């Protein structure tokens, strides 16, 4: 038996490990199984290249809980360690030895899948254990060895009774970590971190139903047998070539990733690149709502099939964090700050690559089956619009496939839209005005007025559309967006010809003064306009710029940008000086009747705009019933 001190640079590393190494103690299981996986993959590689004269077989990693003995066992059938190797890799805190192995077999080990990136690996066990034992036997046919340590720098090493190669780690679970003796807890951790590890992981047994023997009666129970409960899928879809997968394989993998997600994904993107960095993965477009905050952190980051995190901000472009799926790369540095990640050269290349692949896939879908792409547009538009806003390269590519739907259900690319509307919707200054609505029902009367003029009206209703319109207006020549209720239609698209008012300047002054006295709500600005006599007498509009700034402020833009604070609601009351009812306002001598006519007309305009609510709506209804008696 040998005793000694672990070669560490502080008197006691274990309290530091327990307190500071990881923010989450449950990571220990990921680390230990990663080491067991490395040991097994090393064994596979050495047998493949003829370096080890032993059979590789069909090794598994086994996790066992001994609740009564308060122990957790992790057992592998990998290459094991000699006494010298235990001294080197355990006592000298030399990590898992993966880097040294890869350097030694540099060329042949390139594609061995060895992990070797998980920090202090083995020592994470002391986060949950007051004592750790190692029983290990090397494939080199040397005596087995047992090592134990009670959480101080002191260790004991002695010969062990072990016939088969591999390593068993025994954790004597500390009193403050007994949750890790519960089967349910271990099962959930294996599912979270080790679901797709490349070596089969056994955790307990399960009952398998066998076919009934020939001649068995219907009422006879089917025979059963106990089999190993393998908790992981060592060959997940993203590790295979796209040519080897069918559409159903991708759907099946999506269900494996998100068992509680019942809607099928709309489509997928298979990532597979080995230069200038290594990256594999599958991204899925789910059906998306307009709520940006509810949909992030669904992409899982793996490193050589080991789960790392589902916070991929800084690795995946922000607009794509609303997608789902898996990315796996050995080139992404782990356990570092987000600011470091964003400055890392490999990460920047990975982010650009993913952006390009998504854009190319969208363009391909659009070209190959436009009808299907249009049918899915409303479910994916929030990602595309977000990407156009946040990534200039994506904006350039998306210009070819981003769609602009009309209120009548037609879809145009921007180029098609410009061609369609430029003759009718170009104003006297040569600017093409793109009309849009954000709510077909609420803005119905304004839409109908525009359509009566032969104008197209888009339906743009995502929460970030104001930001995107601003970007389009600054990047395209001679275009502007205007919501159909931003002004009366002839002001939105001003032509050379103008309507002549039936009222004199004096009458208009009198009318404006009377209206401003009668209308007590100061959020309305009275504006007199000469319009067709069959247009509404009163129309309420919201100034495009102020309304857009208010909407952008609500989605994290305009208000803060312009230092406006919380912007109030502002409306224009457009009064049609050519409508007979407006002339009647002027000609009515009775003040009470004039007030009633103005209030009724204003309330009708508010009703059309969806602004008549509460007490004002109740009084309007009473007044209207009184008028029809």
Distance of CA 157 to the CA centre of its chain: 49
Strands 324-328, 279-285: pairing is antiparallel
Q: Is 298 flagged in the annotation as binding?
A: no
For the stretch 9-12, contacts whose Cβ atoms lie closer than 8 Å and that sit 24 or more positions apart, written own/partner, are 11/153, 12/152, 12/153
Q: What are phi and psi of 231, to 5 degrees?
A: -95, -5
Specify the DSSP element, H or E, that contains 509: helix 505-518
- DSSP category for residue 441: T
Q: Is 585 helix (H, G, I), strand (E, B) or coil?
A: helix
Strands 306-309, 571-576: pairing is unpaired
Q: Is 324 flagged in the annotation as binding?
A: no
Q: How far is CA 225 from CA 60, 184, 206, 208, 209, in A?
A: 20, 23, 8, 5, 7
d(CA 129, CA 427): 76
Contacts of 66 by beta carbon, 8 Å cutoff, 6+ apart? 72, 73, 181
Q: Is 31 flagged in the annotation as binding?
A: yes
Q: Is 548 flagged in the annotation as binding?
A: no
Q: Is 81 flagged in the annotation as binding?
A: yes
Which position has the token pair 């698209």? Answer: 493
- Residues facing residue 538 across a β-bridge: 575
d(CA 52, CA 59): 15
Q: How far is CA 5 from CA 8, 9, 172, 565, in A?
A: 8, 11, 20, 63
CA dihedral 41, 44, 45, 48 (to 10 degrees): -160
From the CA atom positions of the chain, what is the Rg in Å? Answer: 35
Q: Is 601 flagged in the annotation as binding?
A: no
Q: Is 339 flagged in the annotation as binding?
A: no
d(CA 454, CA 473): 23
d(CA 323, CA 300): 10
d(CA 324, CA 322): 7
- Helix segments in 87-238, DSSP class H: 98-104, 183-193
Q: Is 338 flagged in the annotation as binding?
A: yes
**For the chain, the helix, strand and coil percentages under 3-state DSSP, each to the nearest 5:** 40, 20, 40
- Residues constituting the chain: 629
Binding residues for ATP: 31, 35, 76, 81, 96-97, 167, 338
Binding residues: 31, 35, 76, 81, 96-97, 167, 338
């Amino acid at each position: 038996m040998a005793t000694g001190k672990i070669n560490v640079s502080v008197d006691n590393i274990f309290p530091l490990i327990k307190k500071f190494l990881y923010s989450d103690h449950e990571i220990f299981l990921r680390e230990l199984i990663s080491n067991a996986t490395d040991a097994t993959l090393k064994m596979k590689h050495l047998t493949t290249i003829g370096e080890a004269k032993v059979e590789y077989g069909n090794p598994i990693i086994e996790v066992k809980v001994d609740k009564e003995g308060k122990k957790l066992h992790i057992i592998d059938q990998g290459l094991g360690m000699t006494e010298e190797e235990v001294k080197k890799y355990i006592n000298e805190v030399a990590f898992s030895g993966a880097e040294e192995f890869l350097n030694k077999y540099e060329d042949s080990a390139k594609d061995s899948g060895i992990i070797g990136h998980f920090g202090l690996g083995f020592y994470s066990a002391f986060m949950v254990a007051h004592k750790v034992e190692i029983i290990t036997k090397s494939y080199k046919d040397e005596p087995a060895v047992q090592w134990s340590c009670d959480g101080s720098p002191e260790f004991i090493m002695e010969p062990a009774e072990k016939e088969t190669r591999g390593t068993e780690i025994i954790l004597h679970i500390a009193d403050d970590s007994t949750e890790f003796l519960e089967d349910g807890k271990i099962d959930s951790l294996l599912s979270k971190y080790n679901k797709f590890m490349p070596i089969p992981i056994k955790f307990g047994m399960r009952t398998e139903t066998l076919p009934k023997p020939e001649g068995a009666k219907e009422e006879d129970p089917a025979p059963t047998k106990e089999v190993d409960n393998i908790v992981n899928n060592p060959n997940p879809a993203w590790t295979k070539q796209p040519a080897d997968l069918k559409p159903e394989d991708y759907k099946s993998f999506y269900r494996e990733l998100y068992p509680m997600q019942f809607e099928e994904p709309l489509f997928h993107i298979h990532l597979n690149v080995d230069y200038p960095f290594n990256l594999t993965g599958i991204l899925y477009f789910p059906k998306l709502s307009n709520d940006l905050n509810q949909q992030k952190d669904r992409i899982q980051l793996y490193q050589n099939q080991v789960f790392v995190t589902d916070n991929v901000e800084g690795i995946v472009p922000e607009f794509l964090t609303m997608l789902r799926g898996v990315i796996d790369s050995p080139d992404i540095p782990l356990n570092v700050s987000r600011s470091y990640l964003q400055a890392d050269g490999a990460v920047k290349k990975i982010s650009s690559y993913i952006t390009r692949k998504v854009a190319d896939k969208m363009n391909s879908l659009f070209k190959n089956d436009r009808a299907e792409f249009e049918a899915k547009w409303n479910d994916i538009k929030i990602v595309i619009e977000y990407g156009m806003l946040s990534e200039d390269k994506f904006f350039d590519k998306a210009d070819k496939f981003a769609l602009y739907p009309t209120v009548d259900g037609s879809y145009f690319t921007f180029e098609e839209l410009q061609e369609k509307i430029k003759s009718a919707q170009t104003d006297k200054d040569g600017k093409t005005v793109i009309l849009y609505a954000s709510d077909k029902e609420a803005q119905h009367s304004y839409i109908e007025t525009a359509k009566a003029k032969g104008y197209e009206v888009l339906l743009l209703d995502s929460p970030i559309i104001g930001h995107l319109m601003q970007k389009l207006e600054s990047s395209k020549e001679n275009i502007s967006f205007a919501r159909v209720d931003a002004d009366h239609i002839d002001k939105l698209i001003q032509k050379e010809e103008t309507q002549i008012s039936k009222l004199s300047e004096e009458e208009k002054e009198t009318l404006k003064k009377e209206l401003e006295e009668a209308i007590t709500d100061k959020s309305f600005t009275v504006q007199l306009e000469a319009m067709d006599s069959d247009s509404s007498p009163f129309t309420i509009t919201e100034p495009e710029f102020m309304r857009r700034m208010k909407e952008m402020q609500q989605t994290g833009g305009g208000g803060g940008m312009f230092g406006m604070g919380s912007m109030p609601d502002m409306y224009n009351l457009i009064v049609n000086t050519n409508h007979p009812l407006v002339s009647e306002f002027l000609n009515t001598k009775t003040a009470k009747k004039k007030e009633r006519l103005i209030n009724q007309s204003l309330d009708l305009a508010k009703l059309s705009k969806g602004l008549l609510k509460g007490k004002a709506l109740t009084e309007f209804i009473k007044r209207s019933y009184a008028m029809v008696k």
